[in-house]
Amino acid sequence: MEPSPESALRLFVKRLAVRSTLSEEDESAIMRIKGSMTSVAAHADLIKQGTPVDHSCLVVEGLVGRFGQNADSTRQITCLHIPGDMGDLPSVVSPKAGWGLAALTRTTILRVPHEQLRRIAAEHPAIAEAFWRDCVADSSIFSEWVVNVGRRSAFVRIAHLFCEMAIRYQQAEQGDRCSYDLPITQADLADATGLTSVHVSRVLKELRTRALVTAQGGRVTIPDWDALVAVADFDESFLLLDKQAPRVFKAA
């Protein structure tokens, strides 16, 4: 699939539709979003931490990390955003972001002005609700990451991350849960799990040896899904993948 604004918006619609009910009219309103496509190199900052923003970044292709930084410039990735995710959708209601966004690999994004997102949210209550719910879903992922980093061993922690990304790529129809592309370096994997790249390397080796996961050349392969889920203590419910019945706003 050649990256284009349309393909990216289609992924975005799909992501929203996983959890929210959108009418055809809602969907086509989203498809009419205009933004500017930008391609950035690996490691480039998309949003500098602490800067006010007036647009959101829809990931078209590649991988984006949301991160927080310390005074000693160590950093922690708090969420990974795959194609179809709008990394800083929350900034629509809170433009002075306390977080940063960085490309983890060569990445294409579609920059969408907040003004436009606010307009379609205001005109389409179901979209506003979908945006809200989407923020809650990301929030739930952060929350799970706190558990991951706070209460799991390095081994389990990394296994859990591979499970999470497997399900998310599968949902986004960008791979099978047992085989998907995750273009991330071990250093970034370390920043995502609160470890060092040296230790990540050792853990990946053990995951390989125990035939649970091979992660090489940006591709993740999981020979035995159930086995991995078992060691990772993985329960996908935090991804909030159920279509949520309640409609806050009645149909327009």
Partner DNA sequence: CGTTCTATTGAGGGAAGTCAACAGTGGTGG
Partner DNA sequence: CCACCACTGTTGACTTCCCTCAATAGAACG
Q: Which does 186 bind (CB under 5 to 8 A by kind): DNA, a second copy, none?
A: DNA
**Nearest-approach distance from CB 72 to a second copy, in angstroms:** 8
Binding mask 97-116 for DNA (x = CB under 7 A): ---------x----------
Query: Is the dihedral angle over the CA atoms 143, 149, 150, 151 positive or is it negative?
Result: positive
Cα–Cα distances (Å) from 141 to 10, 35, 144, in that order, read 22, 27, 5
Instruction: Give Cα 208 distance to the centre of its chain.
Output: 25
Smallest distance from the beta carbon of 49 to a second copy, in angstroms?
A: 9
Q: Which amino acid is at 101?
A: L
Q: What's the min distance (Å) between Cβ of 76 and a second copy?
A: 4
Residue placing its CB nearer to DNA in the complex, 48 or 205: 205
Smaller CB separation from a second copy, 7 or 186: 186
The item of DNA, a second copy, none sharing an interface with residue 202, based on CB under 5 to 8 Å by kind, is DNA
C-alpha atoms less than 13 angstroms from C-alpha of 29 in its C-beta half-sphere: 18
Supply the minimum distance, in Å, between the C-beta of residue 75 and DNA.
13
Among 111, 133, 208, 210, binds a second copy (CB under 8 A): 133
For residue 75, give every residue at least 6 positions away whose Cβ sits within 8 Å of its Cβ, in sequence order, or none: 67, 68, 69, 191
Indicate which single residue of 32, 202, 219, 247 sits in contact with DNA (rule: CB under 7 A): 202
Q: How far apart are CA 172 and CA 143, in angstroms?
A: 21
Subset of 142-161 contacting a second copy (CB under 8 A): 142-147, 149-152
**The only residue of 28, 68, 197, 252 in contact with a second copy, by rule CB under 8 A:** 68
Q: Does 137 bind a second copy (CB under 8 A)?
A: yes
Nearest to 5 by CA among 143, 103, 108, 126: 108
Buried b (16+ CB within 10 A) or exposed e, 4-35: ebebbbbbbbebbebbbbbeeebbebbeebeb
Strands 36-40 and 45-47: unpaired
Query: Is-contact 89 200, C-beta < 8 A?
Result: no
Residues near a second copy (CB under 8 A): 19, 50, 66-72, 74-76, 78-79, 90, 92-96, 98-99, 114, 118, 121-122, 125, 128-129, 131-133, 135-140, 142-147, 149-152, 193-194, 233, 235, 237-240, 242, 244-246, 248-250
